[in-house]
Amino acid sequence: MKNYFVYILKCNDNSFYTGVTNNLEQRIEQHSSGIKKDSYTYKRRPVTLVWNESFNEIGQAILWEKKIKAWSRRKKIALIEGNWDDLILFSKNYTQFGNKIEK
């Protein structure tokens, strides 16, 4: 059975990059070494893996990658930190929680 990983990298400019792969170690090394000069992470190195989850089906992994990419920064931070209360809170109507401090 093959595993697929959805992952979030924190870039040097404090932005996040979300991706999917079937070989997490190799993919992180590719981001870190900067093999693709036109990639998002190339000019934002070094990158740090801050979150990942394993899936048995590629379709599930791709679905989650797309969902996470559409999330706000604060919702991604809640996921990374395992802060389930904030994750639920920010899943509701994020505009009403604008006074919550961004990290």
Residue range 72-91, pLDDT digits in tens:
999 999 999 999 999 888 88
Q: How many domains does the chain have?
A: 2
Domain that holds residue 88: 71-103
For residues 13 and 40, membership in a common domain is answered with: yes
For residues 7 and 54, membership in a common domain is answered with: yes
For residues 50 and 84, membership in a common domain is answered with: no
What is the C-alpha separation between 60 and 65, in angstroms, rounded? 9
Residue 16 CB coordination number (10 Å): 18
For residues 38 and 83, membership in a common domain is answered with: no
pLDDT tens-place string over residues 21-72: 999 999 999 999 999 999 999 999 999 999 999 999 999 999 999 999 999 9
Name, in order, each residue with C-beta under 8 angstroms of 14's C-beta and a sequence gap of 6 or more: none
What is the C-alpha separation between 2 and 13, in angstroms, rounded? 33
For residues 57 and 93, membership in a common domain is answered with: no
**Cβ atoms 6, 20 nearer than 8 A:** yes
For residues 14 and 58, membership in a common domain is answered with: yes
Rg of the chain taking only CA atoms, in angstroms = 14
For residues 75 and 90, membership in a common domain is answered with: yes
What is the C-alpha separation between 23 and 5, in angstroms, rounded? 7
For residues 60 and 86, membership in a common domain is answered with: no
